[in-house]
């Protein structure tokens, strides 16, 4: 996909194009390292490619790394042949796409498709396929009025149970 003319325009073209692992590897490497491949641990440019394992080995720190390290694709057993068509589907569907549609189109479980969908949406919000790094702060709170301030009819209709009934959990990451 060197030019816009080579880019897949349909889902079938995307699935066919990204079915070759070598094409997927070259595609993601070109996006991730436009200036040349560098080690994600020590930023060295002296690396060698291990073609049998589709990994690079840093000549400086002697560590091996894949194109998935440090991206939204990391820690996923699914290959790039599933990830890249899923990215294509999310980006090209103007009204959004459900995890069920992704699962049916790619032949994976709905749970995996849900995981992929959320990671892809996070990457689109950040504008990068890189994972959050450094120190990440997380906090949560519950938003909503106390039941004692509700009208009696509404309070009686609420389901009685443990915890904060009728409140919404809100989470923030920085």
SS3 54: coil
Q: Using alpha carbons only, how large is the chain's radius of gyration in Å?
A: 22
Quick one: average pLDDT of 120-141? Answer: 74
pLDDT for 70 beyond 80: yes
Phi, psi of 172 (to 5 degrees): -130, 140
Measured CA to CA, the distance from residue 119 to residue 113 in angstroms comes to: 10
* Domain ranges across the chain: 4-32+68-126, 138-173
pLDDT digits (tens, 9 = 90+) for 135-145: 767 777 777 76
């Amino acid at each position: 996909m060197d030019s816009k003319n080579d880019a897949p325009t349909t889902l079938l073209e995307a699935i066919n194009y990204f079915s070759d692992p070598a094409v997927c590897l070259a595609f993601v490497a070109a996006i991730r390292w436009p200036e040349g491949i560098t080690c994600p641990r020590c930023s060295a440019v002296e690396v060698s490619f291990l073609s049998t394992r589709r990994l690079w080995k840093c000549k400086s720190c002697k560590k091996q790394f894949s194109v998935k390290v440090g991206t939204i694709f990391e820690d996923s057993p699914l290959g790039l042949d599933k990830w890249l068509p899923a990215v294509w589907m999310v980006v090209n569907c103007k009204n959004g796409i459900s995890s069920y549609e992704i699962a049916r189109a790619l032949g994976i479980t709905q749970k995996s498709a849900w995981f992929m969908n959320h990671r892809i949406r996070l990457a689109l919000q950040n504008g990068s396929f890189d994972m959050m790094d450094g120190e990440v702060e997380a906090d949560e709170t519950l938003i909503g009025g106390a039941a004692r301030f509700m009208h009696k009819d509404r309070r009686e209709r609420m389901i009685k149970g443990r915890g904060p009934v009728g409140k919404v959990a809100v989470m923030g990451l920085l």
